[in-house]
Structure 1
């Protein structure tokens, strides 16, 4: 597309220059929640580092992990596409899932990463090369390069092996999760991730499944120490819905207590919580599956204040095709305001 006097080009270059001056934000998580948030965040800064869980062992990612002995690519793929500056046709191609044959259920993007991994013989290099192909804003890094497996110990003493099994088995047993852990326990983070955390203006936990997307990132060796020692603001984005078999009947406070239990006190400065009422007809769909809205209470807010955690409340719901998601733009604006207000002091 050609525009006279290059006005469009100048406008794009001006925005890119502005984004490069944006705050350094590190986001830890996984799943759909993280990729949705990243799509909003890239509109405000290009200095983004997404540290993504690689404990996934289900679906197409699980198949590739088992067949090829590689790290699961699914959450990585979603984050790369969220931060990509590419044509819509390319995104459709990489998100395409095969419907028949041996590749049924597998996404082309996962196969793309698998091919890159095979070519370069290194998962980290494969992700970097794919980032170049997709003109990715910022960086997407796996939480570790080691082949980790996630386990959950329940309050009834049962131990569940495998990320994909946790919500299913726990849903059947009807217990609560006491603790999650990874094996090997000494899995190391990437040096690049450690540097990003050290230099961050803001470190964001979530949004994403509490025990299978957010907390696994905290289980990597010394990750909690690096986050705690960072001078950046530490923010937790609370989920807007509970997850059946994982966070049944959890409130905002329960989510935060679980994070602290798996890390240490002082790991969260702010929590961003939704107060927007969800339409009854949408809520009914989720309640059929056992999920309910997570709305912060006055009592929880008081307790969090006593813990030294400031609560930021807002209407944060975005509903598309009957799916409840966070409003990525509002979340990003809140994060940006927090960082800028701190710099002004």
Structure 2
């Protein structure tokens, strides 16, 4: 199983992936972050930003006491007001091992061995990426487009993101990540910050080619709510259109949407038509997490997401055996 994304969305998906009990789990992680601890280490050490990689390692850490101790340690942030303030322990470990071993993947594998990881973590590229977006709504005239540069700037813009680019525009993908995409049986893309965690994968031509060529069941997991800033006001349909706009050659099998996000027949009709442009059909399921008082949150529930993926896998496998899938 291969899971593509970044941040908290990928973390929840990896937790769900573990509950599916696949033979292997591969996390393919975005490397465009330029804020916080990751941004500081990226600028000071000229390394790929470690934050999203750290979160994936924490999600995959072993379930035993030792593994969970390391998961908490990776996520722990230093307090105070000095040079270490705000840095996550795991970010420093990744950066330090990278310098000691001279290899990003070896550093990630070393931490995976230490934590008893249930899978491997790969950066989508072995060089840091910059993001640039065309944004409207920053001027009195809504037709004027402004260029906003940087992942944090794109994610927090008060305007509306129309299109994003990565710099360099044709980066070399991590070969191990491409191999994981090609060899998996089930592939997920999303959820997460749509323009800064999900779409950057699709701006790397070799990644899109690998996804489309993979024989795996390919599932896009849609966000539960629009995000303030980059996708403010977006419908489920528009989220899908953004994938088509940025990666016209992308082909997937299913779009998974929480059953309460799109409820009216007309909305579902529009969403299903948008999905067909990707070669996909839409699956609806209850995947939203509840807090300890029974209130819905804006996060995916790992158990419910795992149940939905298992059901989609069973349906897809039956269709395939009956010759109803391409």
Normalising by structure 2, we get a TM-score of: 0.87
Contact 1:65 1:72 in 2 (8 A): yes
| Of 29, 45, 52, the match for 2:5 | 29
> Can you list the C-alpha shifts for 1:111-163, whole angstroms capped at 9, x where unaligned?
11111111111212211211111121122110100221111112432111100
> In structure 1, what is the equivalent of residue 141 of structure 2?
none
Q: CA deviation at 1:43?
A: 2.1
Q: Following the alignment from structure 1 to structure 2, what is the Cα–Cα distance between the partners of residues 58 and 79?
A: 18
Q: Following the alignment from structure 1 to structure 2, what is the Cα–Cα distance between the partners of residues 336 and 315?
A: 13
What pairs up with 1:201-280 in 2 under 5 angstroms?
A: 201-264=185-248, 267-276=251-260
Task: Report the secondary structure of 2:70's partner residue.
Answer: helix
Matching of residue 341 in structure 1 with residue 315 in structure 2: yes
Matching of residue 125 in structure 1 with residue 99 in structure 2: no
> In structure 2, what is the equivalent of residue 5 of structure 1?
none
> In structure 1, what is the equivalent of residue 79 of structure 2?
99
> In structure 2, what is the equivalent of residue 114 of structure 1?
95
Q: CA deviation at 1:303?
A: 2.7
Matching of residue 197 in structure 1 with residue 176 in structure 2: no
Task: Report the secondary structure of 1:42's partner residue.
Answer: helix
5+ residue gaps, structure 2, are 137-143, 322-326
Q: Following the alignment from structure 2 to structure 1, what is the Cα–Cα distance between the partners of residues 282 and 168?
A: 35
C-alpha RMSD of matched pairs (Å): 1.8
> In structure 2, what is the equivalent of residue 316 of structure 1?
287
What pairs up with 1:64-79 in 2 under 5 angstroms?
A: 64-79=41-56
Task: Report the secondary structure of 2:99's partner residue.
Answer: helix
5+ residue gaps, structure 1, are 1-24, 277-293
Contact 2:211 2:250 in 1 (8 A): no
Moved over 4 A (4+): none
Q: CA deviation at 1:35?
A: 0.5
Q: CA deviation at 1:266?
A: 5.3
> In structure 1, what is the equivalent of residue 149 of structure 2?
161
Task: Report the secondary structure of 1:87's partner residue.
Answer: helix
Matching of residue 57 in structure 1 with residue 45 in structure 2: no
Contact 1:41 1:329 in 2 (8 A): no
